[in-house]
Amino acid sequence: MRWSGWPLTVVIIAISLTMSYVLFQFGIFFFFLPIIFLPFLKFVKIKSVTAGRISCPNCGLQSHGNYCPHCGTRLV
C-alpha cells in the first residue's frame, strides 16, 4: 500500500488553503479553519456512536440492529 491515503489529505489541505486565500482577498477571514481539519475527523472517536453495536459472528460487521446488514445473520 504505497498510497495509503495521505495524498488525498494533502490535496484537501491544499484546496482549502487556496480557497481560504481567495476568500481572504474578498474580506472573509478564517474560512479555512473548519475545512482544514476535516480529514482528521476520522481520528476523533465518539463513544455514543460505538456504544450498543453488536459484531456479527459470521462476517464481523458491527450493527445496531437485530440482523447483520451484510449477511443477514441474527445478532444476539
pLDDT given for residue 34 in this prediction: 65
Compute CA distances 33 → 28, 44, 62, whole Å: 12, 17, 33
**Domain assignments of the chain as residue spans, ordered by start:** 1-44, 45-76
Q: How far apart are CA 35 and CA 73, in angstroms?
A: 40
pLDDT given for residue 46 in this prediction: 65
pLDDT given for residue 3 in this prediction: 60
- 7-60 pLDDT, tens digit per residue, is 888 888 888 888 878 888 888 776 556 666 777 777 776 665 556 778 888 888
pLDDT given for residue 48 in this prediction: 58
C-alpha grid cell, residue 14: 491544499
> Whole-structure pTM over 0.85, yes or no?
no
